[in-house]
Amino acid sequence: MQRLFSWKIHALVLVLVCVAEFIGQKNFSIGIGTVALFPMLYALLIGSVISLPSLKILSEKNMNIAANILGISFMLFVAKLGTLMGPSIPKLLDAGFSLTFQEFGHFLGTIIIGLPIALLIGMRREAIGATFSIDREPNLAIIAEKYGADSPEGRGALGVYVCGTLFGAVYLSVIASLIASTGFFHPISLAMGAGVGSGSMMAAMTGAITAIYPESGNDIAVFAGAANLITTIVGTFVCIFISLPLTNFLYKYLSPILGKRPENQESSLEKLNG
């Protein structure tokens, strides 16, 4: 069994957490919306820099240890989410059916739109992990448990997770501002759409929508938070029993048609990853 402890890794993590929390959340306006930057973003950026091979701060062995610890951390995070379910049941009931129904849009959009695009640009099994959800922490845990953190599906999910953390808040803040500015949707509907299961993305979209509808600021925050809670809890089960099987089903039939990477190359990659 591979050793899962390294003083260097744990010390660097502690330093990164302290630095990121010291910087704290930063909000700034970009004219058409408000962008919120969270400590996790700083930790990812600093971590990506110190892991550059040219700096020789971390060895490949250190990175492998960190990758294995990451999978364990995801399992602990999902266990924590489970403890939230009981106390949150009254909130889920008060939120109503409409908040639960909006969950279908979250995963159907990523699968129906994202999967064909992922296959067209050359992704193979990575496309499953990348498109079965928006790939936040609970979704990463699902993929890590079913396929392994270092599997093609795991790499696809982690890639989207990192991109979502780096660019998601900025991107969705701008999109929310543009859509809210049209006046076509009710602010409460926009608030429910902001609850995608990510705290940073929800905060960015909520701030952007509130800037357009300041008179509904309190209601926007309440409904966005409820939608985010439902997506985090209910969405975990939706991903396990509906979206992941659906993505695998569609991949089976779309891959021969839209896939670009040769099948023998995919088989070789799967063998290398065990």
Summarised one tens digit per residue, pLDDT across range 128-160 is: 999 998 878 788 888 988 898 788 998 999 888
Comparing CA positions, the residue from 231, 239, 191, 243 lying closest to residue 92 is 231
Is the pLDDT at 58 greater than 50? The verdict is yes
**pTM tops 0.95, yes or no:** no
**Is 109 contained in some domain?**
yes
Within a domain: residue 141?
yes
Closest CA to 99 of 201, 197, 204: 197
- In terms of Cβ atoms closer than 10 Å to its own Cβ (0-12, 13-18, 19+), residue 156 is buried
Q: Residue 28 in 3-state DSSP?
A: strand
Structural domain contains residue 107: yes
> CA 19, CA 12: separation in Å to the nearest integer?
11
pLDDT per residue as tens digits for the range 227-236: 887 777 777 7
| pLDDT for residue 248 | 93
* Structural domain contains residue 16: no
pLDDT at 18: 92
- Give 34's strand partners: 29
The yes-or-no verdict on residue 8 having pLDDT over 80 is: yes
Question: Is 6 contained in some domain?
Answer: no
Tokens 């099987």 sit on residue:
245
Report if residue 8 sits inside a domain.
no
Distance of alpha carbon 156 from alpha carbon 151, whole angstroms = 9
At 85, is the pLDDT very low, low, confident or very high (cuts 50, 70, 90)? low
Specify if 104 maps to a domain: yes
Distance (Å) of CA 122 to CA 116, 245, 260: 10, 21, 5
Q: Which residue has the higher pLDDT, 205 or 4?
A: 205
Q: What is the mean predicted confidence (pLDDT) over 89-106?
A: 68
The answer to whether the CB of 190 falls within 8 A of the CB of 176 is: yes
**127 lies in some domain:** yes
**pLDDT for the residue 273:** 44
Cβ neighbours, 10 Å, residue 69: 17
Helix (H) or strand (E) holding 29: strand 26-29
90 has a pLDDT exceeding 80: no
Number of domains in the chain: 1
Domain that holds residue 30: 26-37+86-272
pLDDT at 89: 65
